[in-house]
Amino acid sequence: MGKQSTKSVKDLLFGDLWEYAPAPQGTDFVELDERYGHYIGGEFVGLDSEETFDTINPATEEKLATISVADEATVDRAVKAARKAYDNHWSKISGAERAKYLYRIARMIQEKARNLAVVETMDGGKPIKESRDVDIPLAAAHFFYYAGWADKLDYAFPGATIKPLGVAGQVIPWNFPLLMAAWKIAPALAAGNTVVIKPAETTPLTAMLLAQIIDEAGLPPGVVNIVNGAGATGAAIVNHDDIDKVAFTGSTQVGKIIQRAVAGTGKKLTLELGGKGANIVFDDAPIDQAVEGIINGIFFNQGHVCCAGSRLLVQENIADEVIAKLKQRMSTLIVGDPLDKNTDVGAINSREQLDRITELVGSGVDEGAQKFQPKCALPDTGYFFAPTIFTDVTPSHRIAQEEIFGPVLSVLTFRTPDEAVKKANNTPYGLACGIWSDKGSKLFRVAGALKAGVIWGNTYNKFDPTSPFGGYKESGFGREGGVQGLLAYLEVR
Amino acid sequence: MANEYVVPRVPTVDRVAADERAAKFATRSIKTTAKAAGLKLVVSMIDLTTLEGQDTPGKVRMLCRKARRPINHDDCPTVGAVCVYPPMVPVAVEELKGTDINIAAVATYFPSGQATLEERVDEVRRTVELGADEIDMVISRGAFLAGEYGRIFDEVAAVKEACGKAHLKVILETGELKTYDNIRLASQIAIDAGADFIKTSTGKVAVNATMPITLVMLETIRDHFMKTGKMVGMKPAGGIRTAKQALRYLAMVKETLGDAWLSPDWFRFGASSLLNDVLMQIEKQRTGRYHSDRYLSIS
């Protein structure tokens, strides 16, 4: 100004003039065992099993611990423990008594939040700011919320008589390990069921820390049983004769296998499967906030989110502006060490997932879509993938149809609200959609026409224990969260 | 005239989401080398301000000397400017002779702006003649709220012309415009009419600069740059008192407008008590420990 020279630039420059210094979260207080088994009947068992696998830190590819695999006999033991706890104790005590334990678990998750967040990030690769600010607080919130229902079940469904189901077999994914455990365990216990739960094989550690919390909380033995393993262990749970209810979160492919397996058995089933969420941006949207919502919708947790807004449907008359702003915003994303407090996009959860993302992105290029990735240096070791958007995408492209489950956004355009709805619904999935418009009447009309279980208006990826979550079509059935989440664990008469 | 004015089209702003985005910048961890460099940058961006009825030549002299040498060693830049009422400009001119520090003066019947345009423009002209390098004007918030957008454009354009070579900062008084949509529109009108800087507040109303309000203004600046290639500066003023707050603003500038705006040419803090808190942190970085505020000179 005044006495100083002024130079103009041609494009915004997101460079290194003033760089954030590394701000790594310390890990020295984290105490992990070298070997983890299972938690069955109130005891930590299975440390001697012959079959094991390693869980690694996907950001460094270093081994964190050796995990035992539960075979059919071990699963049987867990189900028997759950049955015994259900028959002899858990189904007999009052709701207020069950609530006491759930509140205790919730408080202990809060007390140990830092440790849980760091382990979650080490084992899964998600940025520490997300495990710290989202995963762990929400996990605690879920226990608090369902603790509140435990003694009020008689009022949850007026006019109906309710009963717990019995023993629930639960299989959860690797994208939100502790949070998914909370989503499964809290409503099941509140409703009076006991559980056998299997965490994902790439992210077993926070489940084992949760087992320690449950143990310290003095939950009666057998009410929660945690077994480790991969698909075969999951199948042993699903196919066990004495399971009354199966709850699964994961891929649509596996969901279909499970649904076939339980057909005719009398087991109740809820499935929360894949998605290909549409984020619909109308020309009257608050553009800058919409861009932020698109970023959050697809790059939150590296896009390892079943409800990710992986298809951007933007009105054609603002597409250029939105895409330009999106590219600018992507240039400011910090990709790298998940333990750094400033990291926005962390590590891909596993080599297998990285390969799948790479393959699908390759197909996008081959099929003629335009790929954009911001300039960002990826770490030399570990599984990383640069934030990616594809423009010139048509609905027939694989990247517009298949769930990529990575930081990859496909951009499509539309002309009218009706066309937006048609395109958004043009998918076998139906989990989540976002709508961005300043016009309330349009927002609600479009929301009513979308076939998806979760619709966000002028926001995205917002989660709350009071709000039911679940899918239409091949995204599954049943709801988790809210009073509706209790239905999955109750017999209503 | 006012009837012919074509109100610029600006995107709507969703308050909840804008607040949320602004809050994210506060979670950036700014440590060690980033903190050290950031603190010095903040000092160089401060418009060290005194705008009181009780201002005297002595007070302004004291402020100017603090601006020249904020602390008793050389490892600290001078501030960007001192900001005073028009009658104090000659005192500042004398005290800041031979330095790079600009003299900013609030004019146009600051802080209310309640006078005729002739009177306000005349004040600007006289203030520039006294030696002000920068003029901080206020817009007529009443006219804006009454929907007379053309009047806002005209008054900013008239003041810009009266500024001559002096740079013009346009104070929107966002605490009186209230909604983010109003703030976005007022920012655009001020920029269209020739503002070199847009500025949040006078510091004289209940709500002054906030992170989300500044973000909305930065985004207006960004959109204008993308459309025209013309850079406009930003000055949040009032309510920024701590080094921690200031570093969060810097993070917001860095991630919204990029490196080009990380300079006193394009970003300023309107503040009086901020400087000493930043100096305290600079001393902590330099010596490894906090000293008491008794070691910092008052201004």
Structural domain includes residue A9: no
Active site residue A433: no
Size of interface A-B (CB pairs under 8 A): 111
Q: Give chain A's domain count.
A: 2
Q: Could you give the 3-state DSSP secondary structure of residue B23?
A: helix
Q: Quick one: pLDDT at residue A169? A: 98
Report d(CA B52, CA A105) in Å as an integer: 56
- The CATH number covering residue A138 comes to 3.40.605.10
Structural domain includes residue A153: yes
**Interface mutation vs chain B, best among A4, A6, A18, A130, most B CBs within 10 Å:** A18
Interchain CB distance below 8 Å, B259 and A15: yes
Q: Could you give the 3-state DSSP secondary structure of residue B192?
A: helix
Shared-domain flag, residues A39 and A84: yes
Active site residue A306: yes
**A109, A116 Cβ separation under 8 angstroms:** yes
Of the candidates A115, A117, A119, A113, which has an alpha carbon nearest to the alpha carbon of residue A57?
A: A119
Report d(CA A304, CA A299) in Å as an integer: 8
Burial status of residue B229 (CB atoms within 10 A of its CB: 0-12, 13-18, 19 or more)? exposed
User: H or E element: which one contains A390?
Assistant: strand A388-391
Partner residue opposite A18 with nearest CB, options B20, B231, B250: B250
Q: Which domain holds residue A266?
A: 35-273+473-492
Q: By the CB < 8 Å criterion, does A132 face chain B? A: no
Partner residue opposite A14 with nearest CB, options B27, B100, B258: B258
Q: By the CB < 8 Å criterion, does A3 face chain B? A: yes
Residues 6+ apart with CB under 8 A from A198: A70, A170, A171, A172, A226, A227, A228, A229, A233, A234, A237
Report d(CA B84, CA B91) in Å as an integer: 10
Mean pLDDT of chain B: 96
Report d(CA A98, CA A112) in Å as an integer: 21
Indicate if the pLDDT at residue B2 is higher than 50.
Answer: no
Q: By the CB < 8 Å criterion, does B227 face chain A? A: no
Shared-domain flag, residues A293 and A265: no
**B279, B43 Cβ separation under 8 angstroms:** yes
Q: By the CB < 8 Å criterion, does B55 face chain A? A: no
The residue whose two tokens read 């080398």 is B33
Structural domain includes residue A20: no
Q: Could you give the 3-state DSSP secondary structure of residue A180?
A: helix
CA distances from B193 to A198, A393, B149 (A): 64, 41, 11
Report d(CA A444, CA A461) in Å as an integer: 18
User: H or E element: which one contains B250?
Assistant: helix B243-256
Shared-domain flag, residues A320 and A268: no
Q: By the CB < 8 Å criterion, does A284 face chain B? A: yes
Structural domain includes residue A85: yes
Report d(CA A387, CA A346) in Å as an integer: 10
Interchain CB distance below 8 Å, A289 and B17: yes
Residues 6+ apart with CB under 8 A from B2: B148, B149, B150, B151, B154
Q: Quick one: pLDDT at residue A1? A: 39
Interchain CB distance below 8 Å, A4 and B100: yes
Structure tokens at B101: 């520090």
Shared-domain flag, residues A142 and A201: yes
Q: Could you give the 3-state DSSP secondary structure of residue A284?
A: coil
List, for residues B258-280, the tens digit of each pLDDT value. 999 999 999 999 999 999 999 99
**Residues forming a β-bridge with A433:** A278, A455
Taking residue A227's Cβ as centre, other Cβ atoms within 10 Å add up to 30
Shared-domain flag, residues A264 and A177: yes
Q: What would the mean pLDDT of B183-211 be, rounded to a whole number?
A: 97
Report d(CA A43, CA A212) in Å as an integer: 10
Indicate if the pLDDT at residue B152 is higher than 90.
Answer: yes
Residues 44-73 of A with CB under 8 A from B: none
Indicate if the pLDDT at residue B65 is higher than 90.
Answer: yes
Interchain CB distance below 8 Å, A286 and B262: no
**A355, A361 Cβ separation under 8 angstroms:** no
Indicate if the pLDDT at residue B1 is higher than 70.
Answer: no
Q: Quick one: pLDDT at residue B4? A: 85
Partner residue opposite B133 with nearest CB, options A2, A21, A342: A2
Q: Quick one: pLDDT at residue A4? A: 42
Indicate if the pLDDT at residue B112 is higher than 80.
Answer: yes
Angle at which helices B15-25 and A287-299 pack, to 10 degrees? 60
Q: By the CB < 8 Å criterion, does A129 face chain B? A: yes
Shared-domain flag, residues A155 and A282: no
Q: Mark the ranges of chain A whose per-residue pLDDT is less than 50.
A: 1-8
Taking residue A221's Cβ as centre, other Cβ atoms within 10 Å add up to 17
Structural domain includes residue A224: yes
Residues 6+ apart with CB under 8 A from A156: A149, A162, A483, A486
Structural domain includes residue A27: no
Shared-domain flag, residues A164 and A206: yes
- Give the DSSP letter string of A8-35: --SS-B--STTPPPP-BPP-TT----SE
Shared-domain flag, residues A339 and A317: yes
Q: How many secondary structure helices (H) and strands (E) does chain B include?
A: 12, 8
Report d(CA A160, CA B240) in Å as an integer: 57
Residues of chain B contacting A332 with CB distance shorter than 8 Å: 255
Q: By the CB < 8 Å criterion, does A285 face chain B? A: yes
Q: Quick one: pLDDT at residue B298? A: 86
Q: What would the mean pLDDT of B108-133 be, rounded to a whole number?
A: 97
- Helix H segments across A94-250? 95-111, 113-124, 128-130, 136-150, 177-190, 205-216, 231-239
Shared-domain flag, residues A209 and A71: yes
Q: Quick one: pLDDT at residue A3? A: 41
Structural domain includes residue A466: no
Query: With b meaning 16 or more CB within 10 Å and e meaning fewer, what string describes A397-410?
Result: bbbbebbbbbbbbb
- The CATH number covering residue A302 comes to 3.40.309.10
ipTM passes above 0.90 = yes
Shared-domain flag, residues A177 and A139: yes
Structural domain includes residue A70: yes
CA distances from A124 to A56, A197, A204, A338 (A): 8, 18, 9, 9
Shared-domain flag, residues A250 and A294: no
**Interface mutation vs chain B, best among A11, A14, A129, A289, most B CBs within 10 Å:** A289
Domains and CATH numbers, chain B: 2-7+16-295 (3.20.20.70)
Q: Quick one: pLDDT at residue A9? A: 53
Shared-domain flag, residues A296 and A423: yes
Residues 199-258 of A with CB under 8 A from B: none
Q: Quick one: pLDDT at residue A11? A: 85
